[in-house]
Amino acid sequence: MLETGDRHSLGPEARPRLRRGVRLQHSPAHGGYVLLAPERVFKADAIAAAILARCTGEATLSAIVDDLATLYGAPRERVLGDVSALLAGLAEKKLLEW
Amino acid sequence: MVNAEPFRSPPAPLAGEGGRGRAAEPPGLPRPLGLLAELTHRCPLGCPYCSNPLALEGRDAELDSATWARVFREAAALGVLQVHLSGGEPAARHDLIEIARAAREAGLYVNLVTSGIGLTGERIRALAEAGVDHVQLSIQDSEADSADRIAGYRGAFRRKTALAAEIVRLGLPLTVNAVVHRANIDRIAAMVELAAALGAGRVEIAHVQYYGWALRNRAALMPTREQVERAAATVAALRARYRRQIVIDSVVPDYHARFPKPCLGGWGRRSLNVTPAGRVLPCHAAEVIPGLEFWSVRDHPLAEIWEHSPAFRAFRGTAWMQEPCARCPRREQDFGGCRCQAFLLTGDAAATDPVCHLSPRHHEIAALAAAQADRPYRYRRMPASAGA
Ligand code: SF4
Ligand code: SF4
């Protein structure tokens, strides 16, 4: 329970992962991905889903950003901003840790 | 651009925002997100606050696991994301593991709601492997004697705490569900402490709601106003103290609130309930309302029931409302409160839930909230013929 973002900030070497009991699931009925947690459900758009699929606790933030920047052909700075904002928001909601 | 948004409650179905790639859905028909699967009414405990109906369904009437598997697939196709495997005590089913696996294979988030009795360490391991995502374990009190007396079962407390340890050891996320009423409401702090010590990530302080067996035991369960006020202060203090350790969820008990609880996010809007025998209800208590026609998964596909069954259509939306709800700005927020409660307390299922202070019958609730009687519990029991 203690390992959320407020203990140490999200640095390039952090290895984000969905918390135990939180799961990314494809739902054809909702036309995309959803993030499922105890008593809570969120919809994840395609980009959020691409980010979250990489949050396995193995890849570092820096590797995830490189990967997505290549995949989407987008400037690394911008990808880093988006990814960090999403991850921090989810850590705040206790859905993700690093 | 990057977005993980909570599913919103306003009436516009999810399709509203963007809507691409979604299966066609008749305009205005919402999609359910949650399914309460009551696998059985059998239960070794006898909690006097149980919200199951007084007429419990016996083993012979229960759906088999293949039918449950079909219901889960149909539910997922309809939009359901989470299933709560409940009862009764779901562990009373010998095929629980198979059922849990089928729910997970359908793509659902599987929440097991259990008293813990009937779950050995070995079974909980098999359930984790089958894909259970989260376990919600009830406790009756923080002290063994009192807990066992409330449950009507010797030794229940010890078995629950041992099971909790095993659940946590397996790495399964655990919510402890503490149902509170007059006999234990003064020990909320000790129950939260226990939940934290057991390693739960979340504790739910669930004040008794008066349906089914709880309604029958209402005067024996009803806390006093002073207890309720003390409990609110205690919970606030505990939240500050355990901020980093455990999430504490609690809502004001119904009869002591100013506004009613929203009916599960709206009748026939966000969730559905399947009884052990397969009848599909908009909510677990809905069978108390006379004249509603429920359809069964044995006779119809779930999507058809959701859209067309008379019970689901009865109070969907706001057109059925009377004053003061009909013109109230909160009507899309709390949907006029609970239909079952409106019926149980006023005799009219379309009335404003009398818990609402704007209801002309609200004073009756205040009188009931002040009526405490220390009489013996009438424990929840199966009729002998039901084959428990
Ligand atoms: S009608 Fe009442 S008991 Fe039924 S779901 Fe709505 S709030 Fe709950
Ligand atoms: S009058 Fe009806 S809609 Fe308004 S707050 Fe009360 S119960 Fe809710």
State residue B4's pLDDT score: 61
On the question of pLDDT at B25 being above 50, the answer is no
Indicate whether A88 belongs to any domain: yes
Predicted pLDDT of residue B385:
52
Q: Does the pLDDT at position B271 exceed 60?
A: yes
Q: Model confidence over B323-333: pLDDT tens digits?
A: 999 999 999 88
In a domain? residue A4: no
Residue B18 above 60 pLDDT? no
Is B90 within 8 Å of B40 (Cβ atoms)?
yes
Average pLDDT across chain B, whole number: 85
Question: Cβ separation of B6 and A42 shorter than 8 Å?
Answer: yes
Strands (E), chain B: 4-6, 34-38, 82-86, 109-114, 134-139, 174-180, 202-207, 247-250, 271-274, 280-281
Residue A65 lies in a domain: yes
Residues B309-364 have pLDDT tens digits of 999 999 998 889 999 999 999 998 889 999 988 888 889 989 998 889 898 888 88
State if residue B336 touches ligand 2 by the CB under 6 angstroms criterion. Answer: yes
> Is A70 inside any structural domain?
yes
Does a structural domain hold residue A13? Answer: no
A7-19 pLDDT tens trace: 568 888 899 999 9
CATH number at residue A39: 1.10.10.1150
Is residue A91 one of the residues assigned to a domain? Answer: yes
Residues B173-220 have pLDDT tens digits of: 999 999 888 788 988 999 999 999 998 889 998 888 887 777 787 877
Whether the per-residue pLDDT at B23 is higher than 80: the answer is: no
Nearest CA in chain B to A51: B2
Average pLDDT of chain A is 88
Place A4 in a pLDDT band, splitting at 50, 70 and 90.
Answer: very low
ipTM of this model? 0.86
Beta bridge partners of B243: none
Residue B136 is encoded by which pair of tokens? Answer: 């919600």
Neighbouring C-beta atoms of residue B158, cutoff 10 Å:
12
Residue A90 belongs to a domain: yes
Q: Is the CB of B352 under 6 A from ligand 2?
A: yes
Residue partners of B112: CB distance under 8 A and separation at least 6: B85, B90, B100, B127, B132, B134, B135, B136
Query: Residues 6 or more apart from B150 whose CB is under 8 A from it?
Result: B47, B48, B140, B141, B183, B184, B377
Contacts of A2 (CB under 8 A, 6+ apart): B244, B245
Q: What pLDDT shows up at residue B201?
A: 87
Average pLDDT over residues A26-54: 92
Task: Kindly tell me if the per-residue pLDDT of B369 is higher than 60.
Answer: yes
Between B55 and B119, residue with greater pLDDT: B119
Confidence of residue B71 (pLDDT cuts 50, 70, 90): very high
For residues B133 and B4, which has the higher predicted lDDT (pLDDT)? B133
Higher pLDDT residue, A75 or B378? A75
Residues spanned by the domain of A30: 18-97
**Residue the block writes with tokens 């219901």:** B71
Let me know: does B263 contact B335? Beta carbons within 8 Å: yes
**pLDDT band at residue B383 under the 50/70/90 scheme:** low
**Considering its fold, how many domains does chain A have in total?**
1
pLDDT of residue B10: 29
How many Å lie between the centroid of ligand 2 and the Cα of residue A1? 38
Q: Is the pLDDT of residue B74 over 90?
A: yes
d(CA B235, CA A86): 31
Query: Which is higher by pLDDT, B47 or A50?
Result: A50
Question: If you average pLDDT over each of B45-54, B78-87, B219-228, B341-350, which comes out highest?
Answer: B78-87
Say if residue B172's pLDDT is above 90. Answer: yes
Residue A28 maps to a domain = yes
B326, B318 Cβ separation under 8 angstroms:
yes
pLDDT classification of B2: cutoffs 50, 70, 90: low
Chain B within 8 Å of A79 (Cβ-Cβ)? no
| Neighboring chain B residues of A30 at a CB cutoff of 8 Å | 14, 22, 31, 79, 81
- Is the pLDDT confidence value at B241 over 80? yes
Which is more confident, B99 or B46? B99
What pLDDT shows up at residue B16?
Answer: 28
Spatial distance between the Cα atoms of A20 and A37, rounded to a whole number of angstroms? 9
CA distance A31 to chain B (A): 5
* Ligand (nearest to CA of B339): 1
Tell which A residues from 23 to 42 touch B, by Cβ distance under 8 Å.
23, 25-32, 34-42
Residue B280 has pLDDT above 90, yes or no: yes
pLDDT at B292: 93
- What's the B338 CA to ligand 1 centre distance in angstroms? 5
Query: Which of the pair, A47 or B251, is modelled with greater confidence?
Result: A47
Q: Min CA distance, A27 vs chain B (Å)? A: 8
